[in-house]
Structure 1
Amino acid sequence: MIDDETRTWLNSLGRFDAAPGSLAGIVVVDVTRVVAGPYCSMILADLGATVIKVEHPDDPDYTRTFPPMLEREDADPFSGFFAQYNRNKLGLTVNMRHPEGKSVLERLVAKADVLVENFRPGTMDRLGLGYERLREVNPRLVYAALSGYGQYGPYRTRPAYDNSAQATGGLWSMNGPAGGAPTRIGTIIGDLGASLYGVIGVLAALRHAEHTGEGQLVDISQQDSVLTLTENAVVSYTTEGIIPEPLGNQHPFVRPYELFACKDGFVFFGGYTDKFWKISCDIFGEPGEYDEHPDLQSMGARFREDVYQEQVKPMVQRWFAGRTKAELEGIAGDLVPLSAVKDISEVVGDPQIAARDMVVDVEYDGYGMLRTFGSPVKLDRTPPRARGLAPDKGEHSTDILRDFVGLTQTEIDALREAGTI
């Protein structure tokens, strides 16, 4: 953990606001790229950790080229995608393939608490910077490795993307229109799931390290992460031999619990319990409609496929067809699970999102304002820092190497001249 002198240095860089987060004092070395690793370390940064993003001087994180781009006349475009996943970080460039670069990283790790990497297993070992080597440098280091299939097993060396995890973790096979082909989940859930589990693993390992002085390897697999997001699929198969197939917008057994069309779009309606079904009938049905259908008053009866398709679903469709999303939410949103299906423009303007500070404005000098998502972690004593900036490539290299690692200016100049930083 950093000392008071180092904290003063960090404050001079403008990386701490008035209320340091819960992880203030924790130093994270981030050698990741794209999303799974950067998002993991970004969450740690939001929570107050000092995260040093290490990039190759000639081959930086290639999401720096991903759209959307912020533009200014006197500088290169700056990626909003990169900024979203790298806020609150310090920027350092190091070529870890250079012997001097390896030494720089080891000296950095010696003073750090956490290292996060998301290379294919074996890559860091080939650089001479794998877990076994770095634990010699710093026995209390928490080394988080995020990869497609984990650090061991028959698939460990396979290249992988988010889609690889969705495919091999079972989620892809379950998603899509009923009776149709499997459909990819419309976001990088394999990356994001691994990021979140990475954070959980790091926090658990940090607690152990604080009590014992002993670090450990945090091994996160995208495939593993996706498997845990398949709800009841595993137990349905192992208990009853059922292999889930695409169901479209339906639930495998809970009804009504799906998408319904309305006058100007779609809503989700989940009035499947007896309580919510009666309230819904009273709100939307004809007078006496609930009592006229005693055969639908039981949740078990409504779950039957034939009853649902022939009676329940047509009834709900009739209720909603002539009303708008806003009307339906206004009538029943506070009483039953009924929510408008909103596109991202509607979400960004949503009053609940605004109340929760979940879309934040960040000013990038010369580029203008970037609006991005905030932090879903709400802490009343040490709130996350969701409005931090992402660094330019190597923006803080000199400061980090001189004031944190302890190199002289002459040594730094020599590293820069050799292309090591």
Structure 2
Amino acid sequence: MTQHTAASGPLAGVTVLDITRVVAGPFCSMLLAELGATVIKVEHPDEPDYARTFPPMVEHGDDEFSAFFAQYNRNKQGITLNMKTVEGKQLLRQLVRKADILVENFRPGTMEKLGLGYEVLKQENPQLVYTAISGFGRTGPNASRPAYDNTGQAAGGLWSMNGYADRPPVRVGTIIGDLAASLYAAIGTLAALRQAERDGLGQVVDISQQDSVLTLTENAVVRYTTKGEVASPLGNDHPFVRPYGSFPCKDGYVFFGGYTDKFWRITCEMFGEPEVADDTEIDTMEKRFDPAVAERRVTPLLARWFGQYTKAELEEMAGDRVPLSAIKTIAEVVEDPHIAAREMIVNVPVAGKLVRMFGMPIKLSEAKSRDHVKAPTPGEHNAEIYARLAGLSAEEIAGLAERGVI
């Protein structure tokens, strides 16, 4: 069994019951664990989190372990619990008495059907912060609908905006609905925890994937409500800022965002053509914002300038002067010296090996670097957690296991 040392960090001493699965939820609780909380992952003894089967897998002898699962469940402890049994329900209520936070991502109403909804659990612990993540939230006509990440992208409007104007809409190339919901859940949970510690009052933190995605649509809502304009796919273009997008170079593509008059003049000088900055057709931001002018004058200029150099050469030229960045592959990002300096690739044990994963983007000046603990196997910490938080003896824990409760 993995031994967990006393956690450090701003959330040290905070106990989280994590009964979530896949990503929308596990990512939220992983962030809390990274900040020092003791996070206990709760799984059904016969039906553990099916993200454990998601690739890539890391082999160790005859066994294998999901690096995907490990990425979102590192630094947690693990127990099993069948909440459909009478004894399982009672056990969860006992654990809640010693917990500060519970995070779940079932469809709204599921916990209530189990007899374990917030109204029941707060009787056990009035200070409990109950964080619920779902596709459409706990209120509204669509609350009971099933949802995945793509549901959030579709229902939140993001899918309709992504891609190219002459092609069908394209989903964002990552599970942005799950990730955004988890981030808002972490923020809401910490706010509710602050109030619980101050006023002794717990509450429900209600997070919807659709709501979360909607807030990522930038100016699309106000464009519609003020001008009646419906956002549509623009490819790599921006709705009103130019030049601001992807441009080809000798060995790939770069992002260039030198749209202000200051940055445009520096760019012209950088490529040895300072007189271009005074060309009366493109000498102001407003003129360069015009789509026809940008296509006819600005884009060809950038293509000619950038086409002479590689991504690395352009980044070196731009330096601290203008916003220009290579559009990097994941391989290039993982090996990026700046990413390394920011400790954004960390080593996490998986199946007896160290696997490099993304690190913690929240940097606290007083926080110390930590060694990461592997994600738990199902029920790995049953004996420790049920003894410590529920006061059960070894014989009682063994009996629960025999009866399929844990």
With the shorter chain as reference, the TM-score category is over 0.9
Shift in Å at residue 342 of structure 1? 0.3
The structure 2 residue matched to 1:312, chosen from 298, 313, 317, is: 298
1:107-186 alignment to 2 at 5 Å? Answer: 107-186=94-173
Contact 2:28 2:185 in 1 (8 A): yes
Q: Within the alignment, does 1:219 sit opposite 2:206 as a pair?
A: yes
- Number of matched residues? 406
Taking the aligned partners of 2:259 and 2:224, their CA distance within structure 1 comes to 24
The residue aligned with 2:331 is 345
Of 404-413 and 273-282, more deviation after overlay is shown by 404-413
- 1:334 aligns with 320
Instruction: Give, in angstroms, the shift of residue 216 of structure 1.
Output: 0.1
Amino acid at match of 2:145: R
Determine which of 310, 329, 342 is the counterpart of 1:324: 310
Residue equivalent to 1:279:
266
Name the CA distance, whole Å, in 1 between partners of 2:192 and 2:241: 39
Q: Quote the Cα distance in structure 2 between the aligned partners of 1:279 and 1:386.
A: 44
CA separation in 2, counterparts of 1:159 and 1:289?
55
Q: Distance in 2 between matches of 1:306 and 1:400?
A: 65
Q: Secondary structure at the match of 2:218?
A: coil
Matched with 1:14 is 4
SS at match of 1:316: helix
> Shift in Å at residue 178 of structure 1?
2.9
- 2:198 alignment partner, SS class: helix
1:261 to 248, 253, 274: 248
After TM superposition, list the pairs within 5 Å mapping 1:184-223 onto structure 2: 184-223=171-210
Query: Residue 38 of structure 1 aligns with which residue?
Result: 26
Listed one character per residue, the Cα deviations across residues 230-280 of structure 1 (whole Å, up to 9, x for unaligned) are 000100000010101000000000000010011110000000000000000
The answer for the alignment partner of 1:367 in structure 2 is 352
Q: How does 1:50-89 map to 2 (within 5 A)?
A: 50-74=38-62, 76-89=63-76
TM normalised by structure 2 equals 0.97
CA contact (8 A) 2:135 2:148 kept: yes
1:35-71 CA distance string (max 9 Å, x none) = 0110000000000000010000010000111111111
Deviation at 1:385, TM superposition (A): 4.4
Q: Which amino acid aligns with 2:403?
A: A
Render the CA deviation track for 1:350-370: whole Å, top value 9, x for unaligned: 011000000011234x63111
Amino acid paired to 1:347: V
Contact between 2:265 and 2:274, CA under 8 Å: does it hold in 1?
A: no
Quick one: which of 387, 395, 399 aligns to 2:380? 395
Superposed displacement of residue 410, structure 1: 1.8
The CA distance in 2 between the partners of 1:42 and 1:369, in whole Å, is 18
Alpha-carbon offset, residue 105 of structure 1: 0.7
- Runs of 4+, deviation exceeding 6 Å: none
CA contact (8 A) 2:161 2:231 kept: yes
Separation in structure 2 between the aligned mates of residue 63 and residue 242 of structure 1, nearest angstrom? 40
Q: Unpaired segments of 5 or more residues in structure 2?
A: none
Q: CA RMSD in A?
A: 1.5
* Candidates 103, 119, 134, aligned match of 2:90: 103
Q: TM-score scaled to structure 1, two decimals?
A: 0.94
Distance 1:91-1:258 versus aligned 2 partners, 3 A rule: same
Structure 1 residues 194, 56: CA separation in 2 closer, same or farther (over 3 Å shift)?
A: same
Output one character per residue of 1:140-167: Cα deviation in whole Å (capped at 9) or x when no partner.
1000000000001110010000000000
User: Is the alpha carbon distance of 1:383 and 1:182 closer, same or farther for their aligned partners in structure 2, counting shifts above 3 Å?
Assistant: farther
